[in-house]
């Protein structure tokens, strides 16, 4: 269909195609946008014939920014109106709008509450004045205890005020509409971050840390269960801080058993844990609560103590290995994943060797290795000791090869063990040590209906993926 034909056909239609990029937190934000749009009378349309394409962008690192820009440019070729939202739009605002005329509007987080009206303006040709980006941490009270009552818009924290029809009549009401199917779904625990890592720009455009109240989280879990979800994945920028702004830093320890008890939810998974904040009580809650996956998504970032201080983080090889010992003393088969930054300014060959030694000793299930690149607005962008791009790439390549070997060895350690698998597609699912989309899969032999949990014995490892035979008993 030509651009002119598309424009003529869709000019009188209030239909929108929602494209989501980036992390699971963005998925939840898109589902809030979808609910708000339906409430405003818009029709969600993925047929390729929508009048508006709304792209929920990612603005974390250069590769994600490029992907977001490419997606916006591709959408403009369809002839539909194109709107940018999400992290890239919030982070750059008017600057992005000026540099990307293909986008008919660039919306910030504060536009989400009136998203239907904003798209009406776009379709009608009314100009939208994009926001001037600002540090969103400064929009919230300095005291964490006062933040939850602030009126600053926080994506994914919408009030459950929808009319009839957007949630089960007999169940909880939430500001969310599922955009995908499947028996697993992310559930936002909190937004923002109060940490000051020198390499990270996220707190500036996502804002200070704000926990959702337990009643909201539980209501949404019940709603998801009514939508056929069997596993909820708790997402945030830092799940270990949950509750600190509500006056109870141990709130996650008490919330996890309540979530696991929600009828229909059979597995709860916690993601994005900060090692420096991981309390013994929280380790015990994750490792020992029935219905909670013994799964630890730990943000180590490196193992060299001196380099971690330069990142304004805490820990070192000895402390991190000690933390893993605590975890495995309570749950020997626990899944552990982490990401690492290589080539940070000032990183020496000795630092790289220490990281390699840590990875060898840690027995992690999944290892992500990423090369450092400057992020504007961060402290590290002004550091001395920058490494040549080729050197960073070489270090990433070497450690990636090591990581692949080590995670394959870790998978082989699971041979002969029995795993509980959530079947997500015919003949395929995930065990407790595998989070959706990022940690590998289990291929199943035997009867395994989609949406069911089955017990299976691991008989083969293929990298981080496993082959397992369903226990027919």
Q: Rounded CA gap, 386 and 373, in Å?
A: 10
Q: Which helix (H) or strand (E) holds 62?
A: helix 62-76
CB burial class (10 A; 0-12, 13-18, 19+) of residue 12?
A: exposed
- Find out whether 188 and 145 touch, Cβ atoms under 8 Å: no
pLDDT at 404: 97
- Which of these, 451, 450, 413, 403, lies nearest to 433 by C-alpha position? 413
Contacts of 201 (CB under 8 A, 6+ apart): 59, 60, 91, 375, 376, 377, 378
- Which of these, 428, 18, 446, 397, lies nearest to 183 by C-alpha position? 428
pLDDT at 224: 96
- Find out whether 227 and 259 touch, Cβ atoms under 8 Å: no
- Find out whether 449 and 423 touch, Cβ atoms under 8 Å: yes
- Find out whether 295 and 326 touch, Cβ atoms under 8 Å: no
pLDDT at 149: 67
Token pair listed for 310: 């330069």
The CATH number corresponding to 417-470 among 3.40.50.300, 1.10.3720.10, 3.40.50.720, 2.40.50.140 equals 2.40.50.140
Name the residue with tokens 């009406």. Answer: 120
Q: Which helix (H) or strand (E) holds 336?
A: strand 335-342
Name the residue with tokens 């949990």. Answer: 453
- Which of these, 77, 15, 26, 28, lies nearest to 55 by C-alpha position? 26
- Find out whether 427 and 436 touch, Cβ atoms under 8 Å: no
83 three-class SS: strand
For residue 273, give the DSSP letter: B
Mean pLDDT of the chain: 90
DSSP assignment of 358-407 equals: HHHHH--SEEEEEE----TTSGGGG-S-PPPHHHHHHHHHHHHHHHHHHH
Q: Rounded CA gap, 196 and 130, in Å?
A: 27
Q: Which helix (H) or strand (E) holds 76?
A: helix 62-76
- Which of these, 73, 81, 69, 71, lies nearest to 15 by C-alpha position? 81
- Find out whether 207 and 254 touch, Cβ atoms under 8 Å: no
Phi, psi (deg, nearest 5) at residue 468: -140, 150
- Find out whether 310 and 198 touch, Cβ atoms under 8 Å: yes
Q: Rounded CA gap, 431 and 456, in Å?
A: 9
- Which of these, 7, 145, 149, 152, lies nearest to 77 by C-alpha position? 7
pLDDT at 159: 56
pLDDT at 139: 76
- Find out whether 368 and 340 touch, Cβ atoms under 8 Å: yes
Q: Rounded CA gap, 128 and 126, in Å?
A: 7
Binding residue numbers for [4Fe-4S] cluster: 23, 58, 87, 193, 197, 200
Residues in the chain predicted with pLDDT less than 50, given as ranges, are 1-12, 162-171
Q: Rounded CA gap, 75 and 3, in Å?
A: 11
- Find out whether 236 and 459 touch, Cβ atoms under 8 Å: no
Q: Which CATH architecture has domain 15-132?
A: 3-Layer(aba) Sandwich (3.40)
Token pair listed for 131: 């926001």
pLDDT at 205: 86
CATH topology assigned to domain 145-157+173-413: pyruvate-formate lyase- activating enzyme (3.80.30)
Helical segments of 111-163, H only: 115-124
- Find out whether 226 and 171 touch, Cβ atoms under 8 Å: yes
Q: Rounded CA gap, 21 and 335, in Å?
A: 26
Distances (CA, A) of 468 to 291, 294, 412: 21, 19, 12
User: Can you give the three-state secondary structure of 240-268, one letter per residue?
Assistant: HHCCHHHCCCCHHHHHHHHHHCCCCCCEE
Q: Rounded CA gap, 442 and 432, in Å?
A: 11
Task: Please report, for the chain, the start and end positions of each structural domain, with discontinuous segments joined by +.
Answer: 15-132, 145-157+173-413, 417-470
Binding residue numbers: 23, 58, 87, 193, 197, 200
206 three-class SS: helix
Beta bridge partners of 339: 368
């Amino acid at each position: 269909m030509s651009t002119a034909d598309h424009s003529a056909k869709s000019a009188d239609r209030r239909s929108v195609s929602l494209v989501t990029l980036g992390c699971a937190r963005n998925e939840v934000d898109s589902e809030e946008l979808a609910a708000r749009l339906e409430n405003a009378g818009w029709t969600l349309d993925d047929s390729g014939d929508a009048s508006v394409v709304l792209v929920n962008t990612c603005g974390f690192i250069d590769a994600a920014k490029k992907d977001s820009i490419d997606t916006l440019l591709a959408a403009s070729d369809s002839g539909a109106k194109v709107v940018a939202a999400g992290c890239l739009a919030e982070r750059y605002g008017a600057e992005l709008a000026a540099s990307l005329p293909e986008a008919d509007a660039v919306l910030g987080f504060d536009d989400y509450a009136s998203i239907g009206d904003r798209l009406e303006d776009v379709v009608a040709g009314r100009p939208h004045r994009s926001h001037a980006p600002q540090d969103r941490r400064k929009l919230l009270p300095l005291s964490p205890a006062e933040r939850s009552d602030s009126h600053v818009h926080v994506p994914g924290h919408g009030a459950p005020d929808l009319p009839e029809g957007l949630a089960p009549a007999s169940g909880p009401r939430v500001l969310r509409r599922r955009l995908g199917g499947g028996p697993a779904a992310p559930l936002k625990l909190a937004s923002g971050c109060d940490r000051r890592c020198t390499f990270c720009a996220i707190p500036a455009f996502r804002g200070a840390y704000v926990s959702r109240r337990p009643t909201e989280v539980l209501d949404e879990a019940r709603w998801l269960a009514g939508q056929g979800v069997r596993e909820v994945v708790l997402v945030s920028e830092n799940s270990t801080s949950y509750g600190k702004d509500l006056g109870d830093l141990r709130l996650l320890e008490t919330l996890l058993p309540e979530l696991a008890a929600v009828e229909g939810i059979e597995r709860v998974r916690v993601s994005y844990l900060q090692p420096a904040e991981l309390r013994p009580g929280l380790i015990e809650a994750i490792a020992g609560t029935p219905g909670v996956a013994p799964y630890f998504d730990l943000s180590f970032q490196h193992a060299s103590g001196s380099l971690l201080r330069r990142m304004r983080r805490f820990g070192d090889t000895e402390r991190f290995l000690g933390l893993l010992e605590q975890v495995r003393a309570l749950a020997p088969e626990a899944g552990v994943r982490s990401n690492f930054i290589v080539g940070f300014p000032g990183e020496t060959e000795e630092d790289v060797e220490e990281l390699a030694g840590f990875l060898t000793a840690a027995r992690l299930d999944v290892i992500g290795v990423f090369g450092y690149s400057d992020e504007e607005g961060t402290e590290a962008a002004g550091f001395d000791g920058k490494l040549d791009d080729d050197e960073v790439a070489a270090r990433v390549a070497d450690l990636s090869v090591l990581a692949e070997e080590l995670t394959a060895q870790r998978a082989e350690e699971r041979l002969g063990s029995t795993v509980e698998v959530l079947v997500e597609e015919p003949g395929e699912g995930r065990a407790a040590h595998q989070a959706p989309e990022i940690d590998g899969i289990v291929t199943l032999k035997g009867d395994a209906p989609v949406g069911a949990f089955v017990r299976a014995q691991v008989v083969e490892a293929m990298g981080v993926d496993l082959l397992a035979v369903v226990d027919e008993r």
